[in-house]
Structure 1
Amino acid sequence: MKLLILNLGSSSIKYQLLENNKFLIKGLIERIGMSGSRIKQIVLKKQILKKSILNKKIDNHFLGIKKMKNLLCDEKVITEEIYAIGHRIVHGGYFFSKPTIISDNVKKKIKKLFKIAPIHNYINYMGIKISEKIFKTSIQVAVFDTEFHSTIPKKSYLYAIPDEFYLKHYIRSYGFHGISHKFVSKTAIQYLKNNKVKLITMHLGNGSSVTAINSGKSVETSMGFSPNSGLIMGTRSGDIDSNIIFHALKKGFKIDELIEILNKKSGMLALSGYSDMRDIKKKYEKGDKKAILAYEMYAYRVKKYIGISISVMNGVDALIFTGGIGENDILMRKLICKDLDFFGIKLDKKKNNFNFINEKKNVIEIQKKKNKVKILVIKTNEEFQISEDILFILKKNN
């Protein structure tokens, strides 16, 4: 059975073609809508990895999916052979708490959540619509980032506002990046051989979040009602005082203008002039003051949520870095782990200075030798987790 997994981010498309849960083709289209868009596709044939890298500007996700389809066809993948397509959907809201086969009714509910997750849910929805046109015989399945956080207790997910906001409008903390947090926490539990382990998983990328996981269950997370809360992100503000919005409205700002500012013009972009951490790092290394401040603020906010997570679980056994920044940014890992000695978190600078390209393993330990708390860098694989969830729901419905 062939499965195609689509994972559309705000500026990227990850995809994997799997058969019997083993990948045949995987690809990454990144910097969509930015200069320097690029595609990297890896094809497994007779245990040989073939890489295809194309540099071409890709203005939007529609063109990205079309390009992906052409690359799959170049490898003689017949679209009718793809039994199901799994879509990562950021916000399941109060509608969805498990993987779901997509119907017209499901699409309507996903559309209703556009206002809560304006950057992602629209992109995810478009991924479904485009896929339905291109892969007409495939079953479409939605896997939701909010699902993993359905175990967070009521004392955590409720806001201290009148009941009607929750009872009538379903306003509560939902949490996001659940697919990634689920994958890396399962990987860590297997690696550490401990089902009761207390983990803090940090998915750090263009969008970022921290989750406290106790015995495999999410108990606290930095993102709340929308993906704009919590950490500082590429273009998203993260936590701000709600009265700033009311103050801005009184000053003449429009609601749609503020939505645009807080979601697409804030975060690292507002602090440094760049949204991609790789660009900011280049400026940091040249001594750019804005880039240095942006790096320090980003790390500070992550440390803050590490402290929250430790207090919620009354301890931590392992700290986990994942996502594009978490897996690859040596400097950011160093800044985040600095001055956490009190919690038994001590980074080994030498071990931290590694590159996943040169590593055969997906889990790297970077803590000091006799460290109380493990510090792990784990390569996330949301697409593999989505494929497992798809197989589960397909079996359940057969």
Structure 2
Amino acid sequence: MAVYLIGTLDTKGTETDFVREQLRACGVTEVVVVDAGCLGEPQILADISRETVFELAGTSLAKVRAAGDRGAAITLAAQGVAELIAQRHATGAVDGVLGLGGSAGTTIATSAMRRLPVGIPKLMVSTLASGQVRPYVGDKDILMLNAVVDIAGINRISRAVLGNAARALAGMVTLKAESEERTDDKPLIAATMFGVTTPCIEQARSVLEEAGYEVLVFHATGNGGEAMESLIAEGLIAGVLDITTTELADELVGGVLSAGPDRLTAAGRAGIPQVISVGATDMVNFGPVESIPDEFADRQFYVHNPTVTLMRTTIAENRLLGEEIARKAAVATGPVKILLPLQGVSAIDAEEQPFDDPAARAALFESIHAHGGAVDVLEIDRHINDAEFATTAATALLDILRSRKTSDPPGGPGG
């Protein structure tokens, strides 16, 4: 088994060497040390040199040093290490990755970790691990361990933290998981949920599970949507029940839970069957009330809790949302259906609820009809959280999946 240990050996050589020895003591038979440093001289010998790292980034160590730009050097090191890990993984040579560092080391090592699929152990010991880590973790299963003290020498604190990191990573790669030995895994359905669409997904999930599928539910908080898109792109998903497309509203308006411009595209590119709805598109997400930008001062808000404030989307924004959903569905290479809940798109968009706005819903629905081309759009005179709507959505996806399976040639995707 091979664990790749990534560090900037001009500043973190001693600490990297300590972790290497800890990994070996825990039964890791092959520890591959990767030097991602640049400016100073390495304190220990690496298995993968910095020269190789920068060559994989399309440059050379000499050019990087001559430029004297630390920021550019970090960016290039991240590119090189990521390419190295991706190439080694393609040959089956990566069982786990462990990185240690401050802001530079964290940027470099996690860039490589994000190139690996879910399931391969990834652990980052970082001085930034107690803060906002989404830029480093992204949509992958990266374990961030707070370094507590700077990674600058082996002392009473760093010895404990780095030792724990080595033991944790060694355990992940040496102890075979029960799931790795199973042969009865069911096909996977990806579904999107928010607190305000939970009843819909719970009902739909029961229908899909009864039909023999395993349902992965993604919380539509930006990272959840990104993670789902990533797993679809990796070919792990058989079908998508994209009920809660709220992240598109945050991307459009400027909320805090955007999943980026590529949300709602992976299934279409891969030709994966999908049923799409408009769950929670009535809202844009912000933090505490005092954090909301001044430009939205005259808008309608709902305080979900002390740390989450929701803003009602306008008629104009709903037209744009409808157009985006429809256009992305229209270019899908696989079967797709859009379901519209006429009585409301979230728990607070219903009769006598704070975000009830028939005009905004009408603008959303009309825009989807106008821009959807040949996409099958079905209007259902129910609220999104009504059991009838959820069952209809799940059944629609099952119908598509069954139709595709019976139409596939022998040995095809459905065989």
Q: TM-score, normalised by structure 2?
A: 0.27
